[in-house]
Structure 1
Amino acid sequence: MKKVILFLIVFSLTLFAQWNKIEVIQYPYIYSALFSGDDIYVGGDSLYISRDRGLSWNSVCPTNQPIEITALYKIENVLFLGTYGEGVFLSSDNGENWVQFNSGLGIFANYAKKFISSGDTIFYGTDGGGVYFYKLNTDSWQAYNENLPDNIAWSTNDIVISGNNILLSAGASGFYYIRPKGSSAWIEKRLVSPTGGYTTPNTFLPFNAIVFTGSRAGIFRSYDYGDNFEYVGINALSLNVVSFVDQGNRVYAGLTRANDFFVWYSDDFGSSWNPLYHEFQGLKKLFIYDNKIWAATNDGLYFTNLPPLNVEPDLEIKNFVLEQNYPNPFNPKTVIQYKIGKRQLVSIKVYNVLGNEVATLVNEYKEAGKYQVEFDASNLSSGVYYYRLQTDNVSLTKKMILQR
């Protein structure tokens, strides 16, 4: 019963947006998308192209029959298209004509996941064949799998460039990998969940000098280009983080739970997260283009207008403050200070790492002002807990550690 109540508490604050579906694309599964100037390229069972920012569409197929198009990338007027089974195709005329380009690829490298680039080098993550690279104007791909165990790390989840590092998540064994540019091999790393186990990243987002990553255990943040991560995530429910996008200083996280997806955002570099959207399709990836947020789902391609970065809810959030508890770690008592911007119903509750409510500290109307409340954890076991301040339109969460 607590989980049901918790679900209603967290997501009763969510804004339900008017999402628009691109009805011309009738194939339900959207695997990839690329936005370039006025052109939009969308990968489903064919390549769908709009030359006018989504007003009209046509489709082309680089093979003789429909095939899943799972990766799209553009560099120096060359389009890279990755398929699930037929490898890589290139186009130099904005997608009108295609040439297959699989020279140097192993058989399992014909299953594309993602392209990225650094300078004139394209890196290609595959689903089963590991990682390859290609230098522009050469004639072949080259393997880039040194020190990647083929039994657990050749199926790419995500690959990005962060500073001087290439970050790779692959497989499902709780590992990710770093390879400094110019180094001879990948370095194996672990992402530690709040419960102390290991969790596999689904996605990365390099964001200024920060890197975000997300998994089934929540959201994590790194200040050293991905070498180490700290947990900063949303733990109110069991949500699987599958995508990040950014706009200015705001980061959006796309999360899934069963057949729903949610969009949360942070305006303080991941220190706190707030709900924005709750929809009812399986999410694959988020994109931002033309002041809209686009969702590639298992029910087609959707978009909705982004809220301005300085709308009233954001201004109100600045007038609401949830301080870090002190002392922290603590045993068994700690004090939580908070600030309310205007009179309204205020709730502060404490949750364990499973998302179960363990204490209600505040649940009453408060006038604008600064307050503090004591939390006594004498009846709780050692571990990580989360406390959440909620009002009609603000939701702030922080982590604390009970250490006996």
Structure 2
Amino acid sequence: MKLLATTSAILFLLLISSLPLFSQASNYFPNSIGTTWTFDAALLGAGDTVIAGSEYREVDSVAEYSLLDGKNAYTIQSRLESGIPSGSSFFAFEGANGFVYLPSLPPPLDTLIDVPAAQWITSFKFNSGFVPPWDIFEWDTTITIDSLTIPAAIKISGSREGLNESVTVPAGTFTAARFNIIEQVGIRSGPIFFPFLTMVDTFWIAQNTWIVKHTRASVTFSYDTLSFNIPGARRELVAFTPNAITEEAELPSGIALYQNYPNPFNPLTNFQFTIDRSQFTILKVYNVLGQEVATLVNEMKNAGEHFVTWDASGLTSGVSSKGGY
């Protein structure tokens, strides 16, 4: 007897209103397509002084809100004041955490170090109260310098240095959370990590405004006879223009769970659901006997549309390999 069938599976979506135990990460990001930020930026040399002639102005804008690698993400497109595109970045928010899509290491390290595929990393934690430093990412790799290949390890960690700090930039004075993202390259001896290159990015993030200031200290890398400087950088907010038409206006007015697809499945299927506000969400799958067979979601979710892929091949019995019913 086939206990699970795609059209007869009982889906249980339990929504519990969130308690005010922490700040929502999404409160810091203005979820409006078309919102723009204008920054004054420059490269920093030794002593973190501005490198002459390196100053430029850059404009960021929220271009899209869509699914990216399993998360509902905002795409920010950057361009120089002249209109020349200068890059894209991607952010997602779940509960008190802010995620950044990590495509590669900053140049010139990305040309020297083998890194894994792009992935989401937890860069910011907005929980109230004390937040201990957290590990973001670790990777054992190699570094190639000329014909020399060196075994190495990459480690990225985060820390929140303050939650309500005053910071002044050309756009004004803001109350902001301050974060350090520490990027290290080193060698590993058993469980011990020995860094030989450390870069620190500091972000000041204000509610309903997002990043108002970002700095990266310059560092010097030396190995044997090789030595080079990696310039630092600074970006400060000059102007912030929220779009009057917000993404909130397009969010659902209630709770909905849609038909899974493909249906029948063999053995993967995708579930789509929407919620009208940020809250704790549980999505479970039951068989026709009312027995719970899988928990697909059990965490805080932001308002909006969400997607979950379920692989039923791990169940010992009761799943049709053909997807029949």
TM-score category of the 2 structures, normalised to the smaller one = under 0.3
TM-score (norm 1): 0.19
Higher relative contact order (CA closer than 8 Å, sequence separation 6+): 2
Could you say which structure has the higher strand fraction?
2
